[in-house]
Amino acid sequence: MPGRLYVLAGSFFIASGWGWYHFYRHPRLIFVGKNILLWLAVILFFHLFLAGYQFIVGRYKRNIFWQNVFPSYLAELYFFASLFFLIFFLRIEWLSLVFFVVTYWLFFRQTQKVLSLHPGGQKWLIANKTIFTLTFFLFVIQSTVQYAAYHYYILDGSIRFFDIVFFRSVAMVTFWLFGFAFAGLFQSYFRGAWRHALFIVWFILFALGIAVWVVNLGVLYYSGLYFSPIALEHAGDAEAVLMNKVSYLLASGAVAVFIFLTYLLVNISKAQRAAGKKIVNYYNLAITAISIVIFVFLSSFQNTPEFVITKSFYNYYFGERINHTLDREVQDKLAKFGLSYQTDKFYVNTRGQIFETTTTRFLPDRLLQNKPNILIIELESFSARLSDVYNSKYPDVAPNLKEFTLDPHSTVFRNYYNASTPSITGALSQFCSFLPPTGHNEIQEEKKIQNHHLLCLPEVLKKRAGYKYAAYVTAVDKEYAHKDGIFTSMGFDKTYGTSELEKYIPGEPLSWGYSDHQLFPAVFKFMKDAPQPFLMTLATVDTHPPFDLAKDAVNYGDGSKSVLNMFHTTDDAFGKFWKEFKISPLYQNTIVIAVADHAIFPGALTKDLFPEEAKTLTFYDQNFLAIYVPDSILPREVSIMSSGIDLTPTILQMLDINLPNSFEGHSIFDDRKKYPNLLGMHEFGLYINQAGNGGKRLVDYNIPNRIDCGDKELISANLTLCDYLNFYNWKRQMFEEGRFWKH
């Protein structure tokens, strides 16, 4: 390929790759125009660089190779270097790493080919090979640890950026190469034994970095968070976590790295002596210059784990930091809600059992001996007030769910409230019995909390009760709100989203994703094919706002109220499923739990629907909950005050599964009756529902950043919003410190 074509193609790869990553792609004509201008600018930059290079080597009368031969190959080397920019188009991290290795090898081979033409080429080849070998070694180490951090860290705001692992790896390789090159320059310009001082410092810092990574990977594996001063303070409490097979494997890996690095540095030292001081200095100067350019233009260095960890230690010991403590008075008040914490321990929430040992059984003997299948239907936004099971205002809006509750083997739970909202945090509260001090915006918009380290229902069922399969079915993309990672962390084996469901559902999605009429038949098929016993969860979608998305909607009455139309539609889809389910073998060995994932958003309940309550509703309300059990021995109705964090403990007591845990809820059949007070937690608001004098309940609600406590708070026997804000801020800090570790 002629040199001109190398320049045009190489500049195009650089401009298009960089532009694809950085430019907004709409409108398309403007996007294309920007890339063309960038392409021309890169071509101009290359020619200016070539002219500057030729001027310098001519002025200082460098070897004839550098004046005449090397410039003729510069365009070709430029082309091979430009291939690295194609990584911007790759969306899969491991593929980017493989692509880099292949491209790196091609570029190395090409530089060796060109340098072999130098009259003293053997020395240049030796120096070139040592630098490329060191760089590759550093990249392998960095890409390994950066990929592990990417996979396990739960608070990473950059997790959805293209190739974040690659960019962080490059940033840290550049950091270490810069130190190595600078130490080399220092050594060459000074005399005496102390000229080796910077190399010794570099090696010690690198060894320390590897040691920190050994600890950090262990902490990441168990907590989903980076190594921090808090983790260091509580290392004694985490002894069981520190001394295990994972730690031994990581330590062995570190030893292997040290051995290979020592071997590599010895050989590099020999090679550099053979190449000569002059050639080595040229490389060190080039590395230093390139490193400075990368530091200026690559922002990924500031979100690498190394930077974050270093900053956390600096802020903890030298900087200003806000340390939230849980007031003793607030702890006493939380005890009335069934919440107690060991604030001075790393495991801040440890309970010895889920329920008190009792001879009372909540399932027939045959289902205790052979565990039943469980189907949990998460009814989107299904407030109790929108079902005639609880409210007669709109008769027959949900007749099939009413029929479900009237089955002689079904139990209706009244006074059941959501503990969080929307769906993703509602699921954390229900499946993991955890009040989540986070929200949808942080999870979906800020791209954090892609997984977690909480003890959850699917994991317990599989590890303690022999359940063979757990699946979660959602109508939308499973990556929306990090559902795939979050539900995998809970112990679900499979998460079905839009892409997975299209293999089982004919036709296009008819709602926000697949409609409820499309979802129920697919889930029924999954249940028939799944190994038993199984846990299957379906998240419905038609009752999600806006309330006019389902193309297969079934109108309620005259169809004038879109909210009621959608609730009637979900009920109709459930009714078709329930009718088929009752005549299938699953009816005899499958528990069906129909439960709201959270209350309907208050803005949806307008004056024309609920004129008296419309202005007083919050994101927390009484929710639908009913459970069908084959040959049930449960009461037909339960009215104990409860919330979403009580669902998993209740299910586990029904199955007679008792174990140490980190749950914040209580079984409705056990301790929940001792605590008639409820809490709701989310960025949408803090909710308190507690028993008052004379049987009247006291309800408080506000958004955390709107709660103004002033300098002092009046002493009250009841939990106040200011008390709750103290709890919320403390809990958020505990969550970020990884101190809700499960055993």
pLDDT along the chain (743 residues), means of 10: 85 90 82 92 92 85 82 91 89 84 93 89 88 92 89 63 81 93 86 83 92 84 71 58 69 88 87 84 88 80 86 77 84 94 85 90 94 97 94 93 96 96 90 85 56 86 95 89 81 93 92 94 96 97 88 91 93 97 96 96 80 81 97 96 97 96 95 94 88 85 84 75 92 77 61
Say how far apart CA 70 and CA 65 lie, in whole Å: 6
**Most distant pair of Cα atoms in the chain: their distance:** 100
Phi, psi of 53 (to 5 degrees): -60, -50
Is the alpha carbon torsion for 251, 253, 256, 257 positive or negative?
Answer: negative
Say how far apart CA 29 and CA 18 lie, in whole Å: 17
328-335 long-range contacts (CB < 8 A, ≥24 apart) are 329/715, 329/723, 330/719, 330/723, 330/726, 330/727, 333/717, 333/718, 333/719, 333/723, 334/719, 334/727
Summarised one tens digit per residue, pLDDT across range 700-731 is 999 888 888 876 556 788 999 999 999 999 98
Residue 634 CA, distance from chain mean position: 38
Question: CATH 3.40.720.10: which residues of the chain?
Answer: 333-736
**CA nearest neighbour of 434 among 649, 629, 709:** 649
> What is the reported pLDDT for 239?
53
> What is the reported pLDDT for 297?
75
Pairing label, strands 625-628, 410-413: antiparallel
> What is the reported pLDDT for 160?
53
Q: DSSP H helical segments within 117-196, as ranges? A: 121-152, 164-189
Decide: helix, strand or coil at residue 208.
helix
> What is the reported pLDDT for 230?
67
Q: How many CA atoms lie within 13 A of 563 on its CB side?
A: 18
The fold of the 333-736 domain, in CATH, is: Alkaline Phosphatase, subunit A (3.40.720)
> What is the reported pLDDT for 153?
75
Helices 305-317/121-152 angle, 10° precision: 70
Task: Enter the DSSP assignment of 362.
Answer: S
| Residue where the block lists tokens 């954090």 | 448
CB proximity list for 191: less than 8 A, separation 6 or greater: none
Say how far apart CA 631 and CA 625 lie, in whole Å: 19
CB proximity list for 47: less than 8 A, separation 6 or greater: 7
pTM of the model: 0.72
